[in-house]
A and B are shown apart, each in its own frame.
Chain A
Amino acid sequence: MALEVLERRPEGRVGREALTIVGRKTLRKDAVAKVTGRELYASDITLPNMLYARVLKSPYPHARVKSIDVSKAVEMGAVVITSQDVPQVLFNPRLVSIPEATYKDWRVLTDRPLFVGEPIAAVAAETEELAQRALEAIKVEYERLPAVFDAIESMKPEAPKLHETIILKDREVKVERNVACRLEIAEGDVEKGFKEADVVIEREFRTNRRYHNQLETKAVVVNLEPGGGVTIWCTTQTIHNTRLLIHEIFGIPMNKINVKKISLGGSFGSSIHTNIIVPIAVALALKAGRPVKLVYTREEDMHDHVSFQMIFRLKLGAKRDGRLVAGQLQAIVDIGAHQIQAYPILGVIAGWWVSLYKLPHVKYEGIAVYTNKVPSCAFRGYGNPQTTWAVETLIDELAEKLGIDPLEFRLMNYVGEGDIFWGQGPTVKTVIRSCGVEELLRRGAELIGWHRRPKPGQQKGRFRRGIGMGRGFHTSSAGSPVPGSVIDYSGAMIKINEDGTIDYITALMDHGGGSLEAIAKIIAEELGVPLENVNIITADTQTTVYDVCTHASRGVYAGGATALKVARQVKQKLLEMAAKILDTYPHALRIRPDPKRGQGVIYVEGIEGKEITIGEVAMTARHKNWGTIAAVDSHRTEAGPPHFTAYFVEVEVDTETGIVKPIRVVAGADIGTVINPDLARGQIHGGFAMGMGMALLEDTPYDPDTGDLVNRGFLVDYKTASAPDMPRLKDFTVFFAETYEPTGPFGAKGLGEGAFNPAAAAIANAIYNAIGVRFYELPITPEKILQALRGGGENV
Chain B
Amino acid sequence: MSFGSPWFTLPEFTYHKPKTLKEALELLDKYGEEAKVMAGGVGLLAFMKERLMAPSHVIDLKGVPELGQAIYKEGEGLTIGATVTLNELARYGPLKKFGALHDAVRDIADPIIRNRATLVGNLCEAIPWVDTPPALIALGAEVEIRSLKGERRVPVKDFIKGPVEIDLEPGELVTAVHVPEPRRNSRSRFIKYNTGSEFALVSVAANVVMDGGRVRDVSLVYGAVSSTPQVAVKAADALKSAEKPWEVLDEVGRIASEEVEAVSDVLASEEYRRHLIRVLTLRVLREVMG
A interface list, Cβ under 8 A from B: 54-59, 116-117, 129, 132-133, 135-136, 138, 140, 297, 299-300, 303, 656-659, 693, 697, 710-711, 713, 716-722, 725, 782-783, 786
Contact = CB atoms under 8 A, between A and B. Distances in A.
Contact of A786 (B9, B267, B272): B272
Given A710-B266, A725-B196, A783-B269, A116 B3 contact: yes
B5 interface: yes
Nearest to A701: B266
A786 to B, nearest CB: 6
B267 A56 contact: no
Contacts of B212: none
A132 B8 contact: yes
B72 interface: no
A299 B4 contact: yes
Contacts, number: 69
B272 A783 contact: yes
Given A56-B3, A659-B195, 11 more contacts: A136-B2, A136-B5, A136-B9, A140-B2, A297-B4, A656-B279, A697-B195, A716-B198, A722-B196, A725-B196, A783-B269
B203 to A, nearest CB: 13
A169 B198 CA distance: 47
Contacts of A725: 196
B35 interface: no
29 contacts: A54-B8, A56-B2, A56-B4, A57-B4, A59-B2, A117-B3, A129-B9, A132-B9, A133-B9, A135-B4, A135-B5, A136-B2, A140-B2, A297-B4, A297-B8, A299-B4, A299-B7, A656-B279, A657-B193, A658-B272, A659-B195, A697-B195, A697-B196, A716-B197, A716-B198, A716-B199, A717-B267, A719-B196, A786-B275
**How many residues of B sit at the interface, in one of the four size bands?**
20 to 34
Interface in B1-26: 1-5, 7-9
Contacts of A711: 266
Nearest to B9: A132
Contacts of B7: 297, 299, 713
A55 B3 CA distance: 9
B268 interface: yes
Given A129-B9, A132-B9, A133-B9, A717 B197 contact: yes
A140 B266 CA distance: 30
Nearest to B194: A719
A48 B1 CA distance: 32
Contacts of A718: 197
B272 A721 contact: no
Contact of A55 (B4, B9, B196, B275): B4
Interface of B: 1-5, 7-9, 193, 195-199, 266-269, 272, 275-276, 279
Contacts of B2: 56-57, 59, 135-136, 138, 140
A58 B5 contact: no
Contacts of A133: 9
Contacts of A720: 196
Contacts of B272: 658, 782-783, 786
A782 B195 CA distance: 9
Contacts of B276: 657
B114 to A, nearest CB: 16
A725 B199 CA distance: 15
Nearest to B12: A133
B198 A783 contact: no
Nearest to A657: B279
B1 A136 contact: yes
Contacts of B9: 129, 132-133, 136
B162 to A, nearest CB: 22
Contacts of A658: 272
Contacts of B1: 136
Contacts of A299: 4, 7
Contacts of B195: 659, 697, 719, 782
B10 to A, nearest CB: 9
Nearest to B267: A717
A227 to B, nearest CB: 35
Contacts of B3: 56-59, 116-117
Nearest to A697: B196
Nearest to A300: B4
Nearest to A139: B2
Nearest to A58: B3
A783 B198 CA distance: 18
Nearest 3 CB-CB pairs, A to B?
A: A719-B196, A59-B3, A656-B279
A558 B1 CA distance: 48
A263 B276 CA distance: 45
B267 to A, nearest CB: 7
Contacts of A54: 4, 8
A321 B9 CA distance: 66
Contacts of B193: 657
Nearest to B280: A657
